[in-house]
Structure formats: C-alpha cells, structure tokens
Amino acid sequence: MREEVNPLSHHMGAEIARRAFIMQMPDGEEVLAEEAYFLVRTGVTEPSKAGWTPLELEVMKKYKWWSRSDIAATKETIYPADILAILDMAKVA
C-alpha cells in the first residue's frame, strides 16, 4: 500500500477482503499473487509511483483514484473486477 499512500499518515481500516490467484508475469512465469484489500481514508488526491518496483512501472499503464460512481460507470477493465461487490460486503458507501 505504500505505493499509493503513506499508510502511517492516514487511517487504515481493517482488511475488507482477500484473494489469491495464479498470475502470469510478462516473462511467462506463473506466480501466486496474494492480495489484501483495506479501506483507507486519505486526503491525498493523486496516487504516487514513488515506491513502485521496475516490474510495476513496466506493467502498470494507467492509475488513478476512482469514485464508486466512476467504477460503476466505466467500460474500462479494472482489477479486481468485483470491487463494487467487495465494497458492498464491507458496507462501504
């Protein structure tokens, strides 16, 4: 999470979801990806790439903060695809 916000300077809530899956890396290697999702309330208006690895810089083409309505309306591919269901299960407005 350090890539997007400094978690020490914002209120990070409890984990709201977790998933694990096999992901293929750009070089074809398959790895186990484990993701945990947290709700963070922050005043930061722009995500930061400051802590990204070279691989993240290579594969992440676009990034931004999304509002719930932006997510619901988009035709773009976002991950996780079920983020609105995750937020609903966590009772996040």
CB 56 within 8 A of CB 3: yes
Q: Which of 11-20, 38-47, 59-68 has the lowest mean pLDDT?
A: 38-47
The whole-number pLDDT of residue 75 equals 94
Residue 2 lies in a domain: no
Mean pLDDT across the chain, nearest whole number?
83
Residue 6 confidence (pLDDT) above 80:
no
Residue 15 lies in a domain: yes
Residue 1 lies in a domain: no
The whole-number pLDDT of residue 3 equals 53
Q: What is the pLDDT averaged over residues 47-59?
A: 83
Residue 77 lies in a domain: yes
Torsions phi, psi for 73 (to 5 deg): -90, -15
Range of the domain at 68: 7-89
- Among 44, 57, 41, which residue's Cα sits nearest to residue 93? 41
| E strands, 25-85, in order | 30-41
* pTM of the complete model: 0.66
Rounded to whole angstroms, the Cα distance separating 68 from 87 reads 9
Number of structural domains found in the chain: 1
The answer to whether the bond into 80 is cis (omega within 30° of 0) is: yes
Residue 2 confidence (pLDDT) above 70:
no
